[in-house]
């Protein structure tokens, strides 16, 4: 075998390994509606008549676009599409969504949010995983309020057609 052939084979093997790694990460793309029955709320569980939440996700290898729509007691909140880099780059910064960064931890997509860093800082993390059938997005959240109180909860979303 010549040196050129060996180099070509090594490059091909490396390309296959990189492609396999990139494809092995879960794809959260889609429209996801909160499943109130399966969600573990930090306070009293709301009724579907008073609470709804939808996440729309457009995922690429190195970035994710996220839109959140919520209705609580008839009041709408959330934010329009923001682009969050995955695994590097400048974090997304906005008044409505805070400072957001994301990175992979095996099959989990980990988000870090920072709010009001210059006045009353609070932070939140989200760890997203998919159910084995890909029909549920499970979000384990931790939130630390400006007063230091910490909350942990799980939000479950069902994939919409």
CATH classification at residue 47 = 2.40.128.20
Q: What pLDDT is recorded for position 23? A: 55
Determine, yes or no, domain membership for 15: no
Determine, yes or no, domain membership for 2: no
Model confidence pLDDT, tens digit, residues 63-103: 999 999 999 999 999 999 999 999 988 999 988 788 999 99
Determine, yes or no, domain membership for 62: yes
Model confidence pLDDT, tens digit, residues 15-54: 444 444 445 899 999 999 999 999 999 889 999 999 999 9
Range of the domain at 116: 27-159
Looking at the 3D structure of the chain, how many domains does it have? 1
Average pLDDT, the chain: 87
Determine, yes or no, domain membership for 155: yes
Determine, yes or no, domain membership for 14: no
Q: How far apart are CA 16 and CA 10, in angstroms?
A: 10
Q: How far apart are CA 108 and CA 125, in angstroms?
A: 12
What is the model's pTM? 0.81
Closest-CA residue to 155 (of 26, 50, 53, 83): 53
């Amino acid at each position: 075998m010549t040196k050129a052939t060996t180099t070509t084979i090594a490059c091909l093997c490396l390309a296959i390994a990189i492609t396999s790694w990139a494809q092995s990460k879960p794809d959260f793309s889609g429209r996801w509606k909160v499943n109130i029955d399966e969600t573990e709320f930090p306070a009293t569980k709301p009724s579907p008549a008073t609470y709804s939440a939808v996440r729309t996700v457009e995922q690429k290898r190195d970035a994710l676009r996220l839109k959140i729509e919520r209705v609580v007691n008839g009041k709408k909140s959330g934010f329009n599409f923001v682009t969050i880099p995955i695994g590097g780059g400048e974090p997304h910064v906005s008044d409505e969504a805070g400072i957001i960064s994301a990175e992979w931890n095996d099959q989990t997509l980990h988000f870090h949010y920072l709010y009001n860093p210059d006045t009353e800082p609070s932070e939140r993390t989200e760890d997203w995983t998919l159910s084995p059938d890909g029909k549920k997005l499970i979000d384990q959240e931790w939130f630390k309020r400006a007063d230091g109180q910490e909350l942990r909860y799980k939000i479950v979303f069902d994939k919409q057609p």
